[in-house]
Amino acid sequence: MKHTKVNITIHFLMCALGGFLGGYALLLRGGFGSAATGNLVECMIEFAEHKPMEALIRLGGGLAFTLPFMLSKWLEHRTRLNREKLCLWLEIVGFLLCSFIPADFHPVLALYPIFFLSSFQWSIFYGTEKYNCATIFISNNTRQTFSALADYWLTGKQEMKEKAVFYGVSVLCFLLLCLGSALLVLKTGPMCLSAAAVIPIAVLVLMKKSND
């Protein structure tokens, strides 16, 4: 996305959505559905513990997370579809449907849609043309924030201050909605995921207004 005020707002909203999904997945399902590392480490542990079925289920989650990267590239090169709008509509429908998955459903299988949707989001919404910034987790964004702060302190360069603010707000948006989703999970259980659909709807509205 271009580095405009509307696109920066969209980026922060998608970071907030990433935080919401993180809080939901960890609190209700016991796993982070927006990254491959933890899931695949658990997969290897379960192979080591002679639990092949559980390991294969986690491997399937890994595939659900990786395939959207290829799908996104195929859509970019082989179709004229608007990938941003497609991603947002898939998230709206997916969140509404997933809100009906029972709390006692198999935790990894319940995360399959989140693995797919969060990965698809990351492959399309990853900052602006000025900053490459993930919207589904915050490890690198935290590093970028404090590295830029150190650079600004040591050099006084304004661009480092701007960079620190961009990545810092990205982290803050993620954490605030992570807190919000945790509070909703405690009160409403799986149905809290339906509230997440508000964010992609808001982004669609912003995109329409910016194009009018």
* Residue ranges of domains in the chain, CATH in brackets: 5-127+136-205 (1.20.1250)
Determine if residue 156 is left, alpha or beta; phi over 0 gives left, psi from -120 to 50 gives alpha, anything else beta.
left
Residue 104 identity: D
Q: Tokens 């006692």, residue?
A: 104
What tens-digit pLDDT sequence spans the chain (212 residues)?
Answer: 776 899 999 999 999 999 999 999 999 999 998 988 999 999 999 999 999 999 999 999 999 999 999 999 999 999 999 999 999 999 999 999 999 999 999 999 999 999 999 999 999 999 888 999 999 999 999 999 999 999 999 999 999 999 999 999 999 999 999 999 999 999 999 999 999 999 999 999 999 988 87
Is residue 33 packed enough to be buried (19+ CB in 10 Å), middle (13-18) or exposed (0-12)? buried
Quote the pLDDT of residue 210.
87
Helical ranges in the chain per DSSP H: 5-24, 37-48, 52-78, 83-98, 107-124, 139-155, 158-188, 193-196, 198-211
Quote the pLDDT of residue 128.
87
DSSP code for 132: B
Rounded Cα–Cα distance for residues 24 and 18 (Å): 10
Quote the pLDDT of residue 204.
97
Quote the pLDDT of residue 211.
83
Is residue 74 packed enough to be buried (19+ CB in 10 Å), middle (13-18) or exposed (0-12)? exposed
